[in-house]
Amino acid sequence: MKTFLDIKQPPYEDSRAVIIPFGYEKTVSYLKGTSRGPGAIMEASSQLELYDIQTDSEPHLMGIHTLSETEIEGLSPEKAQDFIYDAVQKTLNDGKLPVLLGGEHSISAGSVRACKEKFPDLTVLQIDAHADLRDSYEGSKYSHACAMSRIAESAPYVGVGIRSVGTEELDAFKKKRTAGEIITVDDFRRLNNFKSIIDKLTENIYITIDADGYDPSIIPGVGTPEPGGLTYQETDNLLSEVITNRNVVGFDFVELRPITGEVRSEFTAAKIIYKIIARIFRKNN
């Protein structure tokens, strides 16, 4: 079985983090292939150094357990969210950190719902090129274009890196019909520090990362590559501050669409995921 980092699978009981691969892809609107995201990220993660220089730690020694990929063929979007809800709920109840690998962004809502039940003050930090605030898209409320509308039904959020918004989303946002705040990529770059972002977050937070929040020059493998995105360093600085100042109860990385023969996207994704785990473990140790 494929595991994150290609390490010998530690026993579930002894693990601090649980990788939940879920390559669900049903409602994707443009380029397809995100169903292969989790597999590609795990494959690329085998090339990471297990030692993390920034935190001076070996996060894998704390136990990172990878669940096997589930059979998701033919699952309705509602059922897919329920599946994720159950998996994340179990992980939280066992006192572990859920790390969800997508798959399309619509699955995150199930994860947030479970985290919100366990941590009632929960807020969500979203990294994304898109607001994902449509109420429905192409006839479905579960489309990835509605991901944040569904998440906002469970928990308030702060979106960072947003640079592509439809007029109907703008309307929802301006009329405050959403329990969230958007920080456009331009506004983000005008900040001298991250205090204004962190102040909007409660103690317990969930992080949802849409791969397209990053610039396509570093992660070209996404369904909708929007130029002008966040750099690795900008995002890492933000995540480092957020993790230091808040309690991250779970996170996901979604919407990666591997490009054959071009491993930059999945390698960068694997690095980001391991770095977040490293920072969370470091803080809680």
* x-or-dash string of contact with Mn ion, 140-169, rule CB under 5 A: -------x----------------------
Among 132, 215, 226, 266, binds Mn ion (CB under 5 A): 132
Among 128, 226, 252, 266, binds Mn ion (CB under 5 A): 128
Q: Which is nearer to Mn ion, 128 or 226 (CB)?
A: 128
Query: Which distant-in-sequence residues (6+ apart) come within 8 Å of 120 by Cβ?
Result: none
Q: How far is the CB of 89 from Mn ion (least distance, A)?
A: 23
Cβ atoms of residues 275 and 54 within 8 Å: yes
Q: What is the DSSP string of 227-267?
A: SS-B-HHHHHHHHHHHHHHSEEEEEEEE-B--BTTB-HHHH
Among 25, 210, 215, 226, binds Mn ion (CB under 5 A): 210
The footprint of Mn ion on residues 44-73 (CB under 5 A) is none
Query: Which distant-in-sequence residues (6+ apart) come within 8 Å of 122 by Cβ?
Result: 112, 115, 116, 154, 155, 202, 204, 205, 206, 249
Q: How far is the CB of 252 from Mn ion (least distance, A)?
A: 11
Q: Which is nearer to Mn ion, 210 or 252 (CB)?
A: 210
Number of Cβ atoms within 10 Å of the Cβ of 10: 18
Cβ atoms of residues 242 and 205 within 8 Å: yes
Confirm or reject binding of residue 25 to Mn ion (CB under 5 A).
no
Q: How far is the CB of 280 from Mn ion (least distance, A)?
A: 22
Confirm or reject binding of residue 226 to Mn ion (CB under 5 A).
no
**Residues contributing to the site for Mn ion (CB under 5 A):** 105, 128, 132, 147, 210
